[in-house]
């Protein structure tokens, strides 16, 4: 049973997430022994690398902040709704990728591996994640094309886009901050920049529609909506017995625990001016 299917389970899970690590670890063993055992088996079998999806083979230096998405990263099912978009991105000849909200580098490092000529400019407001980003870039041999910056304000974004060379992609996942940052009135460079943004209507009501209105004149916009995971989504190249013997658990391992309806916008600039 998915945690979100029960209001009591959801409240308990949110309370559990607030506990310190030294309390959560033994609690997992006591309350969810089967889950913990299978999670450990997935990590061991994967050997620290993503096992499927567009970033298959990428090695990750996972941090405590990654724990919520740990299995999705390893299984390659994290945000699988975007797999098709990522493959299309790879076919574009992007010279610069600006990633605002780079977190632990899933997209920044993953795309650096897939686009060996692209320069990656990462912004991450949590300074404790900067060493994680650097190490992930080093593990994957892309550190020489990777720069890391702190919190991104509109002037910072304007400078980064203004300094970019060739076709540029902006990736944004900043928990509602996109409504202020992605404003062509403050950075005209956005008019000629392709954008992949995770929108957060749960935090900023109407955020998605506002961004569509802002960019509809300058971009071709595709809206992508999250969907529940199914057994068919579980990768076939890791623990092949798990979907057969524990189908519910296999699906639950891929659960991203989204708050409300999750959407993304992939916006391709109609005019490429660089």
* pLDDT value at 142 more than 80: yes
Q: What is the pLDDT of residues 223-244, one digit of tens each?
A: 999 999 999 999 999 999 999 9
pTM of the model: 0.87
Q: What is the pLDDT of residues 34-52, one digit of tens each?
A: 777 888 899 899 998 999 9
Question: Mean of the per-residue pLDDT values for the chain?
Answer: 89
What CATH topology corresponds to 49-269?
Rossmann fold (3.40.50)
Assign residue 53 a region: left if phi > 0, alpha if psi is -120 to 50, beta otherwise? left
User: Taking the domains of the chain in order of start, what are their residue ranges?
Assistant: 49-269
> Average pLDDT in the 195-218 region?
97
CA distance to 9, 38, 134, 211, per residue, from 193 (Å): 42, 42, 26, 14
Distance CA 32, CA 191 (A): 49
């Amino acid at each position: 049973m998915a945690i979100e299917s029960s209001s009591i389970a959801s409240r308990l899970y949110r309370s559990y997430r607030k506990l310190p690590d030294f309390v959560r670890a033994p609690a997992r063993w006591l309350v969810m022994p089967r889950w913990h055992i299978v999670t450990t088996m997935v990590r061991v079998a994967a050997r620290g690398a993503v096992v499927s999806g567009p970033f298959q083979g990428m090695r990750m230096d996972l941090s405590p902040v990654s724990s919520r998405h740990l299995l999705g990263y390893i299984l390659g099912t994290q945000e699988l709704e975007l797999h098709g978009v990522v493959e299309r991105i790879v076919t574009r000849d992007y010279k610069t990728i600006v990633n605002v909200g780079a977190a632990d580098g899933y997209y920044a490092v993953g795309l650096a591996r897939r686009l060996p000529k692209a320069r990656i400019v990462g912004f991450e407001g949590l300074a404790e994640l900067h060493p994680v980003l650097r190490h992930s870039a080093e593990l994957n041999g892309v550190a020489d094309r990777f720069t890391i910056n702190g919190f991104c304000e509109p002037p910072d974004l304007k400078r980064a886009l203004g300094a970019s060379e060739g076709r540029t992609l902006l990736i944004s996942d900043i928990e509602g901050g996109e409504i202020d940052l992605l404003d062509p009135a403050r950075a005209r460079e956005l008019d000629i920049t392709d954008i992949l943004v995770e929108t957060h209507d749960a935090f900023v009501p109407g955020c998605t529609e506002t961004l569509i209105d802002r960019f509809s004149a300058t971009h071709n916009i595709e809206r992508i909506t999250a969907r529940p995971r199914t057994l068919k989504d579980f990768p076939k190249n890791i623990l092949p017995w798990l979907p057969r013997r524990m189908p519910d658990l296999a699906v639950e391992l891929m659960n991203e625990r989204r708050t409300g309806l999750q959407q993304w916008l992939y916006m391709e600039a109609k005019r490429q001016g660089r």
